[in-house]
């Protein structure tokens, strides 16, 4: 459910709660300043929900059976892997859920990718991911759909597809 009365211009950076709970983008959950790319995240999650006939994320906390950011984040981590370290470092709420330290020395380490640890007490589901969750397609059709949605469901806002890129995506024309 959404309220257009809560709509704001996206050309200014913001840092307040936005979006219906199950559609919240990582930057909103971690309290990172956000702009238009949160809408791309929304389109990706809603596209999934419409196509699959079920929510991709629920965010239901196992302790009190209500929505919680920590439960939502563990679902996103289960689907997309750990968030990039640069996103963790700028989130006002990141330290509630994740460490921001590098615990392993890797020769291929890039500061864009996280080697942080999940520290909220909600277990990250094993064997989950977009490919395992998509149940309506097979073969090339499945891969094209996953690529299309995956272009919107990126941890880093700058890694998400733009509206123009999405409109030119071949999946829309198949």
Tell me: the pLDDT tens digits for 127-141?
678 998 998 999 999
Contacts for 128 with CB less than 8 Å, ≥ 6 apart: 75, 78, 79
Domain containing 169 equals: 4-173
| Count of domains for the chain | 1
- Would you place residue 106 in the very low, low, confident or very high pLDDT band (cuts 50, 70, 90)? very low
Q: Across all residues in the chain, what is the average pLDDT?
A: 81
Q: What is the pLDDT of residue 123?
A: 58
Environment class of 23 (CB within 10 Å of its CB; exposed 0-12, middle 13-18, buried 19+): buried
Neighbours of 161 (CB within 10 A): 21
Q: From residue 46, how far is each of 39, 56, 111, 119, 168 by CA, in Å?
A: 10, 9, 30, 28, 19
Each residue of 24-69: pLDDT tens digit? 999 999 999 888 899 999 999 999 999 999 999 999 988 888 999 9
CATH number of the domain where residue 157 is located: 1.10.510.10
pLDDT of residue 156: 94
């Amino acid at each position: 459910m959404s309220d257009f009365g809560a709509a704001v211009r996206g050309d200014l950076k913001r840092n307040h709660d936005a979006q219906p709970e199950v559609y919240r983008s990582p930057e909103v959950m971690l309290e990172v300043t956000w702009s238009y790319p949160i809408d791309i995240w929304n389109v990706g999650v809603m596209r999934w929900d419409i196509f699959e006939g079920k929510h991709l994320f629920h965010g239901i906390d196992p302790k009190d059976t209500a929505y919680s950011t920590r439960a939502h984040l563990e679902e996103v981590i289960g689907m997309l892997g750990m968030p990039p370290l640069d996103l963790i470092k700028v989130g006002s709420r990141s330290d509630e859920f994740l460490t921001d330290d590098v615990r392993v020395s890797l020769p291929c380490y890039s500061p864009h990718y996280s080697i942080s640890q999940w520290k909220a007490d909600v277990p990250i589901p094993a064997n989950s991911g977009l490919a395992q969750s998509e149940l309506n397609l097979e073969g090339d059709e499945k891969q094209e759909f996953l690529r299309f949605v995956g272009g919107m469901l990126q941890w880093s806002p700058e890694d998400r597809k733009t509206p123009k890129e999405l409109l030119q995506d071949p999946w829309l024309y198949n």
